[in-house]
Amino acid sequence: DAKTTQPNSMESNEEEPVHLPCNHSTISGTDYIHWYRQLPSQGPEYVIHGLTSNVNNRMASLAIAEDRKSSTLILHRATLRDAAVYYCILRDANSGNTPLVFGKGTRLSVIA
């Protein structure tokens, strides 16, 4: 699996936008970019995924660079509930149900 690189930690003020970066310079053409987050004392939860185009859902937006070597998860208005570890994961669409390979992720702190 291609590897991803994320900052260890980030901090945001409540109700401000948050941009969580992820580098994946060795991404292949069939790798989808997935984001999961893990709130304290809970299992990970799916946030969003994309291939080439930017994606939006009720939780977040995913901005993918034109060369696909990096992406950014955007939380439009951070709330205290968004404090979690965010994982950027690549999954090869040609490999069936490949396991999720979690890195260290980015620990997001939200300040009231």
Partner 1 sequence: KAGVTQTPRYLIKTRGQQVTLSCSPISGHRSVSWYQQTPGQGLQFLFEYFSETQRNKGNFPGRFSGRQFSNSRSEMNVSTLELGDSALYLCASSLGRGRLVTEAFFGQGTRLTVV
Which residues contribute to the site for partner 1 (CB under 8 A)?
32, 36, 41-46, 49, 87, 91, 93-94, 96-105
Residue 14, H or E segment: none
Cβ 14 to partner 1, closest distance in Å? 26
Specify the length of the chain in residues.
112
Computed on alpha carbons and rounded to an integer, the radius of gyration of the chain in Å comes to 13
* Alpha carbon distance, N-terminus to C-terminus of the chain: 38
Cβ 42 to partner 1, closest distance in Å? 6
Q: Which is nearer to partner 1, 53 or 94 (CB)?
A: 94
Q: Which is nearer to partner 1, 17 or 60 (CB)?
A: 60
**Contact predicate 57/109, CB 8 Å:** no
Cβ 16 to partner 1, closest distance in Å? 28
Pairwise CA distance, residues 36 & 111, whole Å: 21
Q: Which is nearer to partner 1, 42 or 53 (CB)?
A: 42
Cβ 33 to partner 1, closest distance in Å? 12
* Beta strands 9-13; 61-64: pairing state: unpaired
Q: Which is nearer to partner 1, 63 or 100 (CB)?
A: 100
